[in-house]
């Protein structure tokens, strides 16, 4: 009962955390085409031409190089959120100083390039579901995505809403290709428009909010962004001038090479990992992102002759759900701790199994507590206290409850109370059973033979 509940909770936490780092992860290679460039390899059915037009509508009228940067960066939505947050914390940086600071960050070149256009980066971060869908579409249907951009440009031009001016120059190179470039090559203006009306017919983009754009079909422009430093290559090799669109080849171009974005994106899940082997064992670290749910995860694992250790974290900024776990095993047994938090409620769990038996405990931020243990000789016991103060206990099949009027036995025939069974000394009910939150976060690393992170030398 209570013991089963504790085990189920632990199992749920572990499965939630450890699945993400277990996703196969590959190194990035921007020069080779993903499987989807030769044939669709995404999840479900490929998007139709109309669906792709809906998806690219918010960016189709951007200058070509900016379209290229957005399509590439959309395959790294986790880095987009990180870069957007970083910009908010470094608003004082501008010009070359900003580019030099950005150049030190571990982001993809496409994401770094978008830091020169904070309004665009912020829009991608605020519409993360749409951004993820756009990135996956480009990764799996690059040629079709580029064609969708051209189709929309033709519609906007036919409707009289796409014209050359002091901010942009529009050139129709052929009936199938319309190029948009800055009128002043050293100053880029980002078009602001409502994608639902600018193309002459209603266009709805799922997951994208038009609350912050103009309500009419006319293109508007904010303050121009100076890109002279990037063009003159006074700092970095990922700036605006290094990006373009190959409309005839159907792909983004970066530094004169075809660019397909994040090649580690496998059907909507992607991340990175690294594994090292040595004379004392192996170690592995990884991170992952699930654009379908918006969940980020990271984990690490070590295996040595003295045992194994696993740690992981997962967080969903959309729902506020968070979980972390630390699990280990050695010659003396296995043990670990976990924490799960959502909607303001948090649960802390611990467990340990050795030759003496098993024990586990859970504590909630609402005031609930529970613990369960099984001795080496088959004796078992469990106790719980709810947030409302009700108490429950079970010993070797005998169940008791106390809702304020004293203890009453509800199951079993023995009249013995709990706490006097063999193999119970030093268990979850002892002095080290109801651990503090700090201990739960660390885990029982000092138990089971000293196999914690700070245990034996490796």
pLDDT at site 265: 60
296 and 380: one domain? yes
Residue 275: inside a domain = no
- Of 259, 292, 320, which residue constitutes the final position of a domain? 259
Work out the average pLDDT over 80-102: 90
91 and 212: one domain? yes
Residue 92: inside a domain = yes
Residue 303: inside a domain = yes
Q: What is the pTM of this model?
A: 0.56
| pLDDT at residue 273 is higher than 90 | no
54 and 200: one domain? yes
Residue 349: inside a domain = yes
Band (pLDDT 50/70/90 cuts) for residue 221 is: confident
Residue 203: inside a domain = yes
286 and 241: one domain? no
Residue 329: inside a domain = yes
158 and 292: one domain? no
Q: Residue 409 sits in which domain range?
A: 2-19+280-442
- What are 429-452's pLDDT values in tens digits? 333 322 333 333 333 333 333 332
Phi, psi dihedral angles at 42 (to 5 degrees) = -85, -170
350 and 437: one domain? yes
222 and 250: one domain? yes
84 and 195: one domain? yes
Residue 14: inside a domain = yes
| pLDDT at residue 212 is higher than 70 | no
| pLDDT at residue 3 is higher than 50 | no
334 and 302: one domain? yes
346 and 217: one domain? no
pLDDT at site 346: 87
| pLDDT at residue 19 is higher than 90 | no
| pLDDT at residue 427 is higher than 50 | no
Residue 421: inside a domain = yes
352 and 436: one domain? yes
- What are 34-85's pLDDT values in tens digits? 544 445 555 557 899 999 999 999 999 999 999 999 999 999 888 898 899 9
Percent of the chain with pLDDT over 70: 73
Total number of domains constituting the chain: 2
Q: Do 449 and 332 touch, CB atoms closer than 8 A?
A: yes
253 and 361: one domain? no
């Amino acid at each position: 009962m209570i013991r089963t509940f504790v085990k189920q909770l632990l199992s749920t936490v572990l499965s939630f955390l450890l699945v993400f780092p277990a996703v196969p992860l590959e190194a990035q290679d921007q020069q080779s085409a993903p499987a989807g460039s030769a044939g669709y390899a995404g999840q479900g059915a490929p998007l139709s031409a109309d669906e792709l037009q809906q998806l690219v509508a918010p960016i189709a009228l951007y200058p070509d190089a900016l379209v290229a940067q957005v399509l590439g960066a959309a395959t790294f939505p986790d880095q987009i959120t990180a870069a957007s947050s970083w910009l908010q914390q470094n608003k004082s940086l501008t010009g070359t100083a900003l580019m030099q600071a950005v150049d030190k960050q571990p982001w993809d070149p496409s994401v770094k390039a978008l830091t020169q256009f904070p309004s665009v980066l912020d829009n991608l971060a605020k519409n993360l579901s749409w951004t993820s869908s756009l990135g996956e579409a480009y990764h799996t249907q690059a040629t079709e995505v580029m064609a969708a951009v051209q189709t929309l440009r033709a519609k906007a031009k036919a409707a009289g809403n796409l014209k050359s001016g002091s901010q942009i120059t529009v050139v129709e190179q052929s009936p199938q290709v319309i190029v948009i470039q800055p009128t002043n090559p050293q100053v880029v203006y980002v078009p602001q428009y409502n994608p639902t009306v600018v193309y002459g017919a209603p266009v709805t983009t799922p997951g994208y909010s038009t609350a912050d754009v103009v309500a009419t079909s006319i293109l508007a422009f904010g303050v121009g962004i100076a890109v002279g430093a990037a063009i003159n290559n006074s700092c970095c090799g990922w700036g605006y001038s290094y990006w373009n669109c190959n409309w005839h080849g159907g792909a983004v171009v970066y530094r004169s090479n075809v660019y397909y974005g994040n090649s580690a994106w496998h059907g909507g899940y992607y991340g990175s990992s690294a594994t090292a082997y040595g004379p004392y064992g192996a170690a592995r670290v990884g991170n992952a992102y699930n654009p379908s749910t918006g969940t980020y995860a990271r984990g690490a694992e070590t295996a040595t002759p003295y045992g194994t250790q696993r740690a992981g974290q997962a967080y969903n900024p959309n729902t506020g759900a968070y979980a972390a776990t630390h699990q280990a095993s050695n010659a003396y047994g296995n043990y670990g701790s976990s924490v799960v938090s959502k909607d303001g409620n948090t649960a802390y769990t611990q467990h340990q199994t050795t030759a003496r038996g098993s024990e586990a405990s859970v504590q909630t931020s609402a005031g609930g507590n529970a613990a369960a243990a099984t001795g080496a000789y088959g004796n078992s016991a469990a106790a719980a206290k709810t947030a409302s103060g009700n108490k429950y206990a079970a010993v070797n099949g005998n169940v008791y409850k106390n809702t304020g009027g004293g203890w009453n036995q509800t199951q079993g025939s023995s009249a013995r109370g709990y706490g006097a069974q063999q193999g119970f000394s030093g268990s979850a009910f002892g002095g080290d059973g109801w651990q503090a939150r700090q201990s739960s976060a660390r885990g029982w690393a000092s138990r089971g033979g000293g196999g914690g992170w700070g245990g034996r030398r490796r």
